[in-house]
Structure 1
């Protein structure tokens, strides 16, 4: 019983999705057609690939390199925040935060006199959420939307480039509020990476991307990539977040079942009929249940795909539960500075709200 309790309480989103899926089965008839298997297969392939990249140590390599290029506290925060921003495009926001946040916190412990510690940590999380929105595979909600609406590559990048450019501008403005403090010289031994493995990872990564972009059939490419990666390192299979995969499956089931309730589906459709309604509505829903389930919940009831794309990606800003990556970042910071958790939450919310307001004004004008 104790193990069962721990299993369901350590990931509340998983437990909530499981409960909703069970309840939904009372109102609708379960069907496998409700599950988007392309998203599930592609997500599994990406997770295996990313775990192998983590072990490869490429992010740690670049992070340690950047310390040598940082002469002030502003330089250090700017460098690691932009590393989080650009690496999350390929490695997802969760992985960027899981890898870079401990590195950042380890670095600042070496410089006790350095200020703006929390500000830097929050910007690292914000950057990971925003940067991961540029590619379809950068975060789960984009992978789902890209597949669900059968978006063309050109269309997707037309939308994401606006988010990319505006994110960079807002981040550059935020760096101006960080005080410049000269950091003492601190030489680190930069870890070496095995260059012989680069062609292997490049081949696997490109194969997975070809499947995601529908250039090659995903149901052929992804299983082959999974088998190769499993043979390469069997231990990685144990490190996959299977609860995330099941969370997606449960939400697919729930949405499919609830869609069969005519009164409920009509009500939801009426709330997301225009660009403006969909944009603001998806932001609001993201603040309550986080942006990934928000995308899965809303998509079947609206054809405003552009507004939904911008809404759920911007919606990762705001509350601590607006994105799973936010919770990961908070958990990591709390491990290093347990006494600062309340201050962190306050500053996190304040900074995120400011960023969210900037994006609301920008996209409110564009839509």
Structure 2
């Protein structure tokens, strides 16, 4: 083994700094998890619980299948088809936002992002588009759209089961919240995107990337349908095993292009925030009072994300449907408010996306939260 010379040490430190610059969230949540583990040791079983292996395995299955679809070339073809038939940037933005919201109702917020964001990035290669801004609005759209559906996001699924309501009954309770969110979002899209005509630009690189690979496209598309079905049936381990086996045998190069660091980021986030949720003082907050519950759920979502906030508050909340409205509103604001926000920004991948997301999402929360409260009080 060669000796560690000063040059080697400097090289290693330089690589580490570069890695941490690229993976800031992984570094933050990793340090949080490590600090809490040292300051407040808990039984190993709790750490396994916080890790949420089914969610990580489901995310792995989605990452691989969507990367397969992207590598097949059909996303690029769909992007060009869409761009050719959409006359203005504003029209395209409205189309993508509405599609994101609708897909989130049917396929959950994270699955819809895995479909829409790669399409948007591919569109950016076909026309001069503000891709980062479009993806930010798609993240907001899936948070709004998933609010209406009992299966649209994890917190809704949990609270739907606890509420005892039918699916239509659950949706009816959340309809006012969803309506306010979507109306605000569409109004903001109208003002944030101008009506300029789209101009296509096809380079040799984008043309080469768009060459279709039918076997890969068909396999990945069928696997995506199977994965969604397995995940809705709570068979994440089977979904991950199937996808990894198929791609390891047939399309191994796709596995090398998957963003595995995103999985590591979520693992660190689940452990760190799960531990933090256990030590936050939420008892005795007066959650029986509607106003306190509403504010507490939104505020806590900004600290530990809306799914852990739901788990933490559900036992002390007498009004389950008000809690559902509040934690869905809490998905806006800071990026950590909803895992969908982080997934969207990571899939888009450009620098500075989190800061720009906050410049749009935080004011959106500050307007949306009081409006939703007023509407809920009015319809009560």
TM surpasses 0.5: yes
Q: Does 1:232 align with 2:246?
A: yes
Paired position in structure 2 for 1:361? 374
CA gap of 1:173–1:301, structure 2 versus 1, over 3 A, is same
Paired position in structure 1 for 2:32? 16
Structure 2 gaps of 5+ residues are 1-11, 249-254
TM-score w.r.t. length of structure 2: 0.68
Paired position in structure 1 for 2:69? 56
Matches within 5 A, 1:1-367: 6=20, 10-20=26-36, 22-25=38-41, 30=43, 32=45, 40-54=52-66, 55-57=68-70, 62-89=78-105, 93=109, 96-97=112-113, 100-101=116-117, 104=120, 107=123, 120-135=134-149, 138-142=152-156, 145=159, 149=162, 154=167, 156-177=170-191, 178-184=193-199, 194-195=217-218, 198-211=221-234, 221-234=235-248, 235=255, 239=260, 241-253=263-275, 255=277, 258=279, 264=281, 268-327=283-342, 335=350, 345-366=358-379
Separation of aligned partners in 2, 1:270 and 1:247: 25
Structure 1 gaps of 5+ residues are 212-220
Separation of aligned partners in 2, 1:299 and 1:334: 34
Separation of aligned partners in 1, 2:228 and 2:356: 40
CA gap of 1:135–1:19, structure 2 versus 1, over 3 A, is farther
CA gap of 1:341–1:32, structure 2 versus 1, over 3 A, is closer
Q: CA deviation at 1:314?
A: 0.7
Aligned with 1:80: secondary structure?
helix
**Do the aligned partners of 1:251 and 1:297 also contact (CA within 8 Å) in 2?**
no
Separation of aligned partners in 2, 1:98 and 1:203: 15
Aligned with 2:337: secondary structure?
coil
Paired position in structure 2 for 1:216? none
Separation of aligned partners in 2, 1:169 and 1:30: 46
- Residues 198-231 of structure 1 show CA distances to partners (whole Å, capped at 9, x for unaligned) of 55543443233133xxxxxxxxx44333332232
TM-score w.r.t. length of structure 1: 0.70
Separation of aligned partners in 2, 1:170 and 1:201: 32
Aligned residues: 342
Paired position in structure 2 for 1:218? none
Separation of aligned partners in 2, 1:152 and 1:311: 18
